[in-house]
Structure 1
Amino acid sequence: MSADLAGRLAHLEQRVQQLENERAVAQVVAAYGPLVDGGDDARVAALWDPDGVYDVDELLMTGRAEIAAMVRSPAHQRWIAGGCAHVVGPPHVTVTGDDAVAVCHSLMVVHDDGRFVVRRATANRWRLHRGADGWQVVDRTNRVLDGRAEAPRLLSAGIFGDGSPGDEA
């Protein structure tokens, strides 16, 4: 094999690996909505690293047990029973080695008096790490898009920042 062909092949392998990493991260992000709406507390929690953090405006959960407890909570079970959909938009994913940052919007749509309404629109920043068990969420920060500057900064920092895990909104 010529040096040129070997170099091109190596470059192609790197590009394919990058695409596979981005897809795997997007799959983790995309799994959240169906799993949480299905009430699958164990699988929702398994998306996170064992010590992972889920920071929602009104709730800070640390570790899989707290995340699973949120899914099992009476409040969340009422949302499921009444009809709800956690719709996570396509993420913008930046992978650097074994670390990734994904940013996206999400909507919580609820069934209300015969119609569906958006209860909440949020900015999401996910930080993930690839370990022995694949890609897992290290932390996810959600902020309601209600005019506060913090929410849009979460989105733009994940795209226009350097994409590294230390990027802060």
Structure 2
Amino acid sequence: MTQTTGDIGALLRRVQVMEDKWQILELIAAYGPAVDSGAADATAALWSEDGEYDVDSGMLRGRAELRAMVGGAPHQGFITNGSAHLIGLPHIEVDGDRAVAIGHSQLVLKVPGTTADFRVARITANRWELVKADGRWQVERRVARLLDGRPEARELLGGVGTGSERS
């Protein structure tokens, strides 16, 4: 193999990683608008068929449970009063057809009975474990932990940049 062929191969691998990271960013960025608009099918479609959402208040397994969460009374109460699920820019590590994205999220809710007063209801650390199947990235597992001083939330954030986020 010539140096030029090797350079082109390295460039193609770098472009693929950039494309994968861009697709993962788009997937994660779609979560807030989907869940805040009440689009249960769109929200569930971000996950693999048997994907998990492990939030400190409970575990959701599979798309049906994700759809039910979005359509459920607590969530519908949030969105009919006014809510915003804000996802921070995550750190992403891609390893072939698997990836991990680590970052923060906020749930902002309108204060009932006010015109434009909002409060931050929760801030969480997030670990998104993703898998690429049939050319499409999907959430295999999302772990979200309230950043309230407990060590498990800090541990989710702690591996960024060290390569340990692949474990």
**TM-score normalised by length of structure 2:** 0.94
Q: Distance in 1 between matches of 2:135 and 2:11?
A: 25
Q: Distance in 2 between matches of 1:161 and 1:11?
A: 20
Secondary structure class of the residue paired with 1:95: strand
* Native 8 Å contact 1:125 1:158 kept in 2: no
Name the counterpart of 1:156.
Answer: 158
Secondary structure class of the residue paired with 1:160: coil
Deviation at 1:133, TM superposition (A): 5.4
Name the counterpart of 2:98.
Answer: 99
Q: Distance in 1 between matches of 2:48 and 2:118?
A: 33
Deviations 1:25-81 (A, max 9, x none): 111111100100010000100100100000111121000000010000011011001
- In structure 2, the CA distance between the partners of 1:6 and 1:161, relative to structure 1 (3 Å rule), is closer
Q: Distance in 2 between matches of 1:43 and 1:159?
A: 31
Deviation at 1:4, TM superposition (A): 1.8
Secondary structure class of the residue paired with 2:165: coil
Secondary structure class of the residue paired with 1:163: helix
- The amino acid of 1:21's aligned partner reads D
Q: Distance in 1 between matches of 2:142 and 2:160?
A: 12
Name the counterpart of 1:79.
Answer: 78
- The amino acid of 2:21's aligned partner reads E
Name the counterpart of 1:24.
Answer: 23
* Native 8 Å contact 1:29 1:88 kept in 2: yes
Structure 1 ranges of 4+ moved more than 3 A = none
Name the counterpart of 1:57.
Answer: 56
- The amino acid of 2:38's aligned partner reads G
Q: Which runs of 5+ in 2 are unaligned?
A: none
* Native 8 Å contact 1:96 1:163 kept in 2: no
- The amino acid of 1:130's aligned partner reads K
Secondary structure class of the residue paired with 1:86: strand
Name the counterpart of 1:69.
Answer: 68
Q: Which runs of 5+ in 1 are unaligned?
A: none
Deviations 1:104-163 (A, max 9, x none): 100000111331110100000000000015101010000000010110110113543433
Secondary structure class of the residue paired with 2:104: strand
* Native 8 Å contact 1:125 1:142 kept in 2: yes
Secondary structure class of the residue paired with 2:164: coil
1:110 aligns to 2:109 (yes or no): yes
% same residue: 44
